Amino acid sequence: MTVDQALDVLRGSVVESVRKDPRDLTQRQMAVILSVYLSQTPMTVRALAADLAIGKPAISRALDRLEELGLVKRMKDLRDKRSIVIGRTVPGAVYLREMADRLIAAGAAAR
């Protein structure tokens, strides 16, 4: 895939999201939700901040919005009561599945 094709796929996916999804996530919020859902281990705020190389306050703001939308949930870490683990939700899984479907459709249209 060329750079132009990759950008066209991204554009197609983003345009469909703008048209069909009123939630309008920022890139930071998208990075957070993708990190949570694609991680093989539970993610804490500290781990997300380290993974994305941004401060914990920025992670907390992104999580506030994602939690407000029902896409993630915060839970106490049973192993370390001082930590908060970010949990997945059914609406969050559905959201990412729809995003993946839009990416696949945009990729097919770019061929």
- Residue 85: predicted pLDDT: 93
Give the start-to-end residue ranges of the domains of the chain.
Answer: 3-110
Average pLDDT, the chain: 89
Q: How many other CB atoms are found less than 10 A from the CB of residue 43?
A: 23
pLDDT of residue 111 exceeding 80, the answer is no
CA distance linking residue 40 with residue 101, whole number of Å = 22
Give the pLDDT band (50/70/90) at residue 11.
confident
pTM for the model stands at: 0.86
CA distance linking residue 84 with residue 8, whole number of Å = 38
Position with higher pLDDT, 54 vs 3: 54
Q: 31-63 pLDDT, tens per residue?
A: 999 999 999 888 999 999 999 999 999 999 999
Residue 21 structure tokens: 């999804």
DSSP secondary structure, 7-51, as one string = HHHHHHHHHHHHHH-TT---HHHHHHHHHHHH-SSPEEHHHHHHH
- CATH entry, 3-110, from 3.20.20.70, 1.10.10.10, 1.10.10.60, 1.20.58.100: 1.10.10.10
